[in-house]
A and B are shown apart, each in its own frame.
Chain A
Amino acid sequence: MTLPEGTRERWVRTGGIELCVAELGDPSDPTVVLVHGYPDSKEVWSATASRLADRCHVVMYDVRGHGRSSAPRPLRGGFTLEKLTDDFLAVADAVSPDRPVHLVGHDWGSVQAWEFASVKRTEGRIASFTSISGPSLDHFGHWIDKRVKRPTPRRVGELLGQGAKSWYVYLLHTPVLPELAWRGPLGKYWPRFLERVEKVPGDGYPTSSLPTDAAHGAWLYRDNVRARLRHPRPDAYAHAPVQLITPLGDAFLSEQLYDELERWAPQLTRRTIPARHWVPRSRPDQLASWISDFVTSVEGGRPEPVKATGRHADRFGGQLVLVTGAGSGIGRATAFAFAEAGARVVAVDRDAEAALRTAELARLIGAPQAWAETVDVSDEQAMEKLAEKVAAEYGVVDVLVNNAGIGLSGSFFDTTPEDWKKVLDVNLWGVIHGCRLFGKQMAERGQGGHIVNTASAAAYQPSKALPAYSASKAAVLMLSECLRAELAGQGIGVTAVCPGFVNTGITSTARFAGVDAEEEKRRQKRTARLYGLRNYPPEKVADAILRAVVRGEAVVPVTPEARAAHLMSRFMPRALRAIARLEPPL
């Protein structure tokens, strides 16, 4: 993979080394310096850089000994963090002599950048630092130290866990072997390994310089790791605001490494992303959006007008979330919960006023942006139009919540074909349209995502009072399970939520088949009162939805009765069938 079009290359000389520096975007914009890791070259940033270029002046450089930069002679002792800091300062002075730069590092790029951001001589040269998958060796040293000197079962577990994940570090410390492996079979099979195990797109990267890069880069470890872990600096405090992006599926670094990071970097912004180690290649959209948001907020003096305070702000901050049926009940509560977590929210409802209200309040509690869309989910063409509009104006949806649904109660023989059509159109076809249109956009983008479908406890709890509703919800449950299997390979999770009796407006709009209007009204009132007495708040369902997305759960029964029925459907189905025969107290 080559660098994006319009990239300008130049050479910077420092300490007898020539560094290859690539620039993109308008130099008058804030400068972002991207530092690559091991075994990589600056091209690893191509996808991210091109997405940042319209808002930032993007600078990438090949670390000494990598890509087109020259290597120090001799190699031993040529890769110390002090020398890498010299390189960074030389590049920063060349590309942005007057203004401090925003630093972004991935893997070893982040390890170095922690050094840049915490030593005295770079003070005033770094405006912000975004760290991805690369801890400071000093912090790491203190982390190990604490766990060795004061072991508790948990700390020992953490130590052993990270110790196992660092297997390659030990191998890289053996002489000659790593070089031979990289120049031989490992270098050859590396791209295929990345595609298969790390799920990065096969786009022509790594460059042909990989074997040499990797062979030289081994000295990054040999020159620094042992020395720093044994004697970590006691004063490794970051002197710039730090944003930490942690990929949750990282095979080389455990999350616990960053547990005490606030000590070293006060006012830390945490982000988590469900992806593997090479996020600059597998999740460039999300990365670019977080980097540019952070840069903008730092440049603007870190104003904090409405701060996202929700529990999962690290995960959903800046993501695009679309919720159908967001004008009331569970949909509205879910939109609010995502808004609180800092997500951008599209509130879809057929009631324009209610959707508008949801969007308005969502902005008030932390959503950086929120929009209302008036669409009936059962209307295929309207949904197609919505999908086009959302993709064109707001972007690709990261989390889709197919929540819109209607209630229908009454005996099977009282349920007319029109009733059936109506309930299936909304409850099932609405979900199908949502998954089909927005799920497709997610899959085509290839950067993961999540779909949540609101099924119901009625999906596995049969009842003689709810044949049509239960059938529609059972279909949603199975659709979700099948879709989950299909999309698993593309990093897209699918969750079916089965709430149970939740105090929402569904009761007062539910249709009761086979009774006259007056009786229907009475039953609606009666059900609403019963649900009100049960009083399970939709906010709790919303919390369950966010938790399910974070954990990637498949089926989520929410209320205690929904959980009980779910267990019974597995272990005591006959008891459940007996319950199905009961007459509801209406």
Chain B
Amino acid sequence: MTTAAGELTQRLRGFRTVQRLAYECAEAVAARLEPGVTERDAARMQREWLRERGVRDWFHLPFAWFGDRTAFVNFRVPLQFFPTGRRLEPGMPFILDMAPVYEGYTADIGYSGSLGANPVQNRLMDDLEAHRELILNAVRERRPLREIYEDVDRLMVRQGYANRHRAYPFGVIAHKVGRVRERRWSPRLFGFGTQSLKGLAADALHGHREGWSPLWSRYRFSDHPPHPGLWAVEPHLGFRGTGAKFEELLVVTDSTDPEQSAFWLDDDLPHVRRWAEDK
């Protein structure tokens, strides 16, 4: 029993390390952003920063969205998520989103900020706190993921915002991540690491047989209680051309103790610190 728990904590430590690394990267790159930098530049900066620190594989390559692209305005096809030549201007909001794999552990994080003050995005970030609490509490109550998704939706509407995570592939608010086997050669398909996609596909197959899905969406395939594992949760708010999100790992276990059944992998993250400072 102790070995199992020990193994668990050791695994979690691995995930926590890579998540911290990714957030450090986001903060470092965000600090280097200046007017005129393009989304492609920002994506490259993230990639290089992480490569230098030993990241060899990705769940997905880093994304960067500037201006109204943070709210996915007029996004019709998934190709539009990829970084473009859009240049950053003073006051513009931006979102950095990256999913590095480090020593076989995957993280998937989202970091929202703006170049100078942006009161609207500021407000969105403040209002995301309620979503973080709502999601955790609902998962601890073992409510079906589809219902939690709808609750998040309702909270967004009440706050006056639009749900922008529905623009993601399959409209997911979260997806499972796991360990990835390290290979010398790690090809990618449309920006997604093939090893990670393989893991996701295997999960999807298992889940299909057992009645759960590694994708957490509004659709019927998510009509099941939270499945144990690590979930990269990414509620994404949009408000008239400004978007904000956070993305971090939620640990779900099969423990009967509510506290232990679900918890955020790390509470020492930029957005969480920011809420704590505001209080």
Contact = CB atoms under 8 A, between A and B. Distances in A.
- Scoring B158, B162, B218, B240 by chain A CB atoms within 10 A of each residue's CB, the highest score goes to B240
B116 to A, nearest CB: 13
A361 interface: yes
Nearest to A339: B240
A539 B119 CA distance: 21
A266 interface: no
B160 A365 contact: no
Interface string B158-173: 1110100000000000
A219 interface: no
A357 B119 contact: no
B159 A365 contact: no
A364 B122 CA distance: 10
A357 B159 contact: yes
A365 B158 contact: no
B159 A336 contact: no
B120 interface: yes
A328 B120 contact: no
A340 B157 contact: no
Contacts of B240: 336, 340, 365, 539
Contacts of B239: 361, 365
A218 to B, nearest CB: 51
B89 to A, nearest CB: 13
Contacts of A539: 162, 240
Interface in B108-124: 119-120, 123
A332 B160 contact: yes
Q: Is the interface of A mostly helix, strand, loop or mixed?
A: helix
B115 to A, nearest CB: 16
- Taking residues whose C-beta sits less than 8 angstroms from the other chain, chain A's interface range is 10 to 19
A340 B159 CA distance: 18
A522 B211 CA distance: 24
B123 A361 contact: yes
A325 B188 CA distance: 49
B162 A365 contact: no
B160 A537 contact: no
Interface in A422-469: none
A364 B119 contact: yes
A130 interface: no
Given A340-B240, A537-B162, A306 B119 contact: yes
A505 interface: yes
A354 B123 contact: no
Interface string A334-367: 0010001000000000000010011001001100
Contacts of B160: 332, 336, 357-358, 361
Contact of A364 (B120, B162, B218): B120
Contacts of A532: 218
- Scoring B157, B158, B160, B239 by chain A CB atoms within 10 A of each residue's CB, the highest score goes to B160
Nearest to B153: A532
Nearest to B166: A535
Nearest to A361: B160
Contacts of A361: 123, 160, 239
Interface string B117-137: 001100100000000000000
Contacts of A340: 240
Interface in B224-259: 239-240
A532 B218 CA distance: 10
Contacts of B119: 306, 364
Interface in B189-209: none
Contacts of A364: 119-120, 123
A341 to B, nearest CB: 12
A364 B123 CA distance: 9
Contact of B120 (A332, A357, A365, A505): A365
Contact of A354 (B158, B162, B218): B158
26 contacts: A306-B119, A328-B157, A328-B158, A332-B160, A336-B160, A336-B240, A340-B240, A354-B158, A357-B158, A357-B159, A357-B160, A358-B160, A361-B123, A361-B160, A361-B239, A364-B119, A364-B120, A364-B123, A365-B120, A365-B239, A365-B240, A505-B157, A532-B218, A537-B162, A539-B162, A539-B240
Interface of B: 119-120, 123, 157-160, 162, 218, 239-240
Interface of A: 306, 328, 332, 336, 340, 354, 357-358, 361, 364-365, 505, 532, 537, 539
Given A357-B158, A539-B240, 13 more contacts: A306-B119, A328-B157, A328-B158, A332-B160, A336-B240, A340-B240, A354-B158, A357-B159, A358-B160, A361-B123, A361-B239, A365-B239, A505-B157
Report the 4 A-B pairs with minimum CB-CB distance, sorted nearest first: A361-B160, A364-B120, A357-B160, A364-B119
